[in-house]
Amino acid sequence: MRKSLQELEQIVPQIRRDIVRMVHAVQSGHPGGSLGCAEFFTAMFFNVMDYAPSPFSKDGHNEDVFILSNGHISPVYYATMARAGYFDVKELSTFRKINSRLQGHPATEEGLEGVRIASGSLGQGLSVACGVAQAKKLREDDKTVYCLCGDGELQEGQNWEAIMFAGHNKLDNLILTVDFNKQQIDGSTVDIMGFSELGSKFEAFGWEVLHMNGNELGDVLRGMGAALAASRQNKPVVVIMHTEMGHGVDFMMGSHEWHGIAPNDEQLSSALAQNAETLGDY
Amino acid sequence: MIQFDIQAQKDTRSGFGAGLLELGRTNDRVVGLCADLTGSLKMDAFQKEFPARFVQAGIAEANMIGMAAGLATGGMIPFTGTFANFSTGRVYDQIRQSVAYSHKNVKICASHAGLTLGEDGATHQILEDIGLMKMLPNMTVINPCDYNQTKAATIAIAEHDGPVYLRFGRPKWPVFTPEDQTFRIGKAWTIQEGNDVTIVATGHLVWKAIQAANELEAKGISAAVINIHTIKPLDEEAILESVGRTGCVVTAEEHQMNGGLGDSICQLLARKHPAPIEMVAVNDHFGESGKPEELLAKYGLDTPDVVAAAERVMRRK
């Protein structure tokens, strides 16, 4: 059942609460990129994608498949999947703890429903998504493969192998979203290794390039709708998603400082005060 | 005396190509991927007959491994093909995370392994691949000894649900195992029982081990010969049973001493049946250009080296 924009707007603050509570509880994890993608994940799992969370289909046959490449934003991935019904939200309390299925970076080893591939070592997800897209074509499955990667992650050369492959082979059932938050661990991407003309780079490899504001739910729905409309036209599609790292928690916003550190008790209270408990905390 | 008719001289990579072609005809989930080495890997017949199920990855091995993981995710059985060096060392992190840790049903098929690729030299002669791959949890490691066994292994691994590293080579080599053999993953093949020394060999060196056993027999020494085509999981029972009788072991492989078959056998013996062991393997050295037989002789992997190792290890009993 696809949720309306108004319903999605109720889910997003709860996802943000889940993210900061998970990271705070274990005093580790990656809140910045997770928070910046809360709107995107909410839109994807509650509106855009056509899939059934239960029973979990490992091969995702005849459903849309989502491949997360930047696995460190596992808090938003887990929170959204739990809220979408892949597993019990209570399990979010086990994040990064011993004997948990919610590993620091997503894994299949512990059998967590919703995860089809391990990620964490960057630059691998788009290749995997290309493979799933080819499998769907071979099996005459007309559903879509979505992949999310970070912008800093595009410094990994394997991505460009995959970008070249997908363009050359016209993988038009593949939609990549780049989380363009312009931040990475050591600073801003502009300072470290910038991506001027990122869209032109994709276009040069034969991709259809779209843009959207990843922190505006309405624009995410518009952008991903446009991406789907642009698919199946002999080109892979990339959506350059402009986001702000840490979005929704004022003291974390726009800074790479919160890439991989956890809030303290006081900061947690402040973050929770900015995001209403709409669905009930886990 | 071990007597085999040499049926032909064929390269093991052609056994892979023949096996893959047969799989293409019998299993519509089988997909071939190759990184610009279709002819070298003998995947051209598969490509020609099943163009829709063949993926030309270009010179981009990391992406090829990732795509294979994705194809497996989507329900296919991908077989990747490139040289052993580019199948392992170049893409280790991709295999570790996207294939082994993710439990993907990917078959990593690697040609030109070891010294016997010859003239291309050390850049291409990977001697560390068995070690790299056997260290990965969930990974099965197979190194068949001739054309027929490689073909049978290729067909067998399609039935195994999980990641497999299949290692084979470039040179024409004696074909001596039966054409109609059943390949059982993890099941050693005891070619000959013996009482004085156990020779455990894998890959091309199984043939050398057989020649060595015959030379030893002429000297009055009874050598058991075990063909370990599956290095992981190791058939511990077959090895221990033989060593229980002979009390000493020689291992023979086209690989570094560190991390190879010999290293696995050492661990097994140390844990379960301490016994003297000598390892015929490359000793912490890179290879070089040359003819296969010249290289095997220079790096101590030839029949006389196996014979000498057997005599050495027997004196240590």
Residue A195 in this model has a pLDDT that exceeds 90: no
3-state secondary structure B39-106: CCCCCHHHHHHCHHHEEECCCCHHHHHHHHHHHHHCCCEEEEEEEHHHHCHHHHHHHHHHHHCCCCCC
Last residue of one domain, picked from the residues B125, B153, B175? B175
Domain match, B30 and B153 both = yes
Q: How far apart are CA B229 and CA B207, in angstroms?
A: 12
The mean pLDDT value for B70-74 works out to 98
Q: Tell me the HSE value of A232 on the side-chain side, using a 13 A CA sphere.
A: 9
3-state secondary structure of A210: strand
Q: What is the pTM of this model?
A: 0.97
Cβ contacts (< 8 Å) between B52 and chain A: which residues? 138
Task: Tell me which residues of B are annotated as active site.
Answer: 61
Q: Which residues of A touch B64 (CB under 8 A)?
A: 127
For residues B40 and B124, state if they share a domain.
Answer: yes
Is A280 inside any structural domain?
Answer: no
CB B246 within 8 Å of CB B219 = no
Q: What is the pLDDT of residue A194?
A: 86
Residue of chain A with shortest Cα separation from B93: A121
Tokens 């979408």 identify what position?
Answer: A84
Question: What tens digit of pLDDT does each residue of A247-273 get?
Answer: 999 999 988 889 999 999 999 999 999
B124 and B55 housed in the same domain: yes
> What's the pLDDT at B215?
98
Residue B166 sits in the same domain as residue B38: yes
Statement: residue B207 has pLDDT above 90: yes
Whether A162 contacts chain B with CB within 8 A:
yes
B246-256 average pLDDT score: 98
Distance of alpha carbon B67 from its chain centroid, rounded? 24
pLDDT tens for each residue of B273-284: 999 999 999 999
**pLDDT averaged over every residue in chain B:** 98
Interchain proximity A131–B73, CB inside 8 Å = yes
Q: Give tens-digit pLDDT for B131-153.
A: 999 999 999 999 999 999 999 99
Residues B19 and B100 in one domain: yes
- Strand pairing of A237-242 and B77-83? unpaired
Domain coverage including residue A152: 5-273
The C-alpha of B140 sits at a distance from chain A's nearest C-alpha, in angstroms, of 17
Please count the structural domains in chain A: 1
Peptide bond into A263 cis (omega under 30): no
Report the residue from B52, B62, B98 with minimal CB separation from A118: B98
A192 contacts: CB under 8 Å, gap ≥ 6: A152, A155, A184, A186
Residue B87 lies in a domain: yes
pLDDT of residue A196: 84
Determine contact, residues B124/B170, Cβ cutoff 8 Å.
Answer: no
* B131, B225: one domain: no
Q: What is the pLDDT of residue B303?
A: 98
Per-residue burial over A90-123, b = 16 or more CB atoms within 10 Å of its CB, e = otherwise: ebbebbbeeebbbbbbbbbeeebbbbbbbbbbbb
- Whether residue B180 is contained in a domain is answered as no
Q: Tell me, yes or no, whether A281 lies in a domain.
A: no
Domain that holds residue B98: 10-175
Tens-place pLDDT, residues B155-202:
999 999 999 999 999 999 999 999 999 999 999 999 999 999 999 999
- B170 plus B215 within the same structural domain: no
A152: in domain: yes
Q: Which of B3, B22, B2, B4 has the alpha carbon at shortest distance from B14?
A: B22
CATH (domain of B107)? 3.40.50.970
Alpha-carbon dihedral angle through residues A154, A156, A158, A159, given to the nearest 10 degrees: 0
pLDDT in tens, A96-146: 999 999 999 999 999 999 999 999 999 999 999 999 999 999 999 999 999
Task: Please indicate, yes or no, if residue A278 is contained in any of the structural domains.
Answer: no
Q: Quick check: is B153 in a domain?
A: yes
Q: What is the reported pLDDT for B1?
A: 85
Compute the nearest-CA separation of B139 from chain A (Å): 14
Residue of A nearest to B67 (CA): A131
| Dist. CA A32–CA A14, nearest whole Å | 16
Domain assignment present for residue A128? The answer is yes
Instruction: Show which residues on chain B lie within 8 Å of chain A, measured between beta carbons.
Output: 31, 52-53, 55, 57-58, 60, 62-76, 78, 93-94, 96-98, 101-104
Q: Is residue B5 part of a domain?
A: no
Of A156, A146, A118, A130, residue with least CA distance to A37? A146
Asked if residue B41 and residue B169 are part of one domain, the reply reads yes
CATH number reported for the structural domain that contains residue A262 in this entry: 3.40.50.970
Q: How confident is the prediction for chain A on average, in pLDDT?
A: 97
Query: Would you say residue A236 lies in a domain?
Result: yes
Task: Please give the residue of chain B at the shortest CA–CA distance from A118.
Answer: B102
Is a pLDDT exceeding 90 seen at residue B262?
Answer: yes
How many CB atoms within 10 Å of residue B155? 18
Quick check: B108 pLDDT over 90?
Answer: yes
Q: How many domains does chain B have?
A: 2
Please give the pLDDT value at position A254.
80
Q: Are residues B163 and B211 in the same domain?
A: no
Question: Is A196 a domain residue?
Answer: yes
ipTM score here? 0.97
A271 to chain B, minimum CA–CA distance in Å? 34
Token pair listed for A78:
């887990």
To the nearest whole Å, the CA of A143 is away from the closest chain B CA by 12
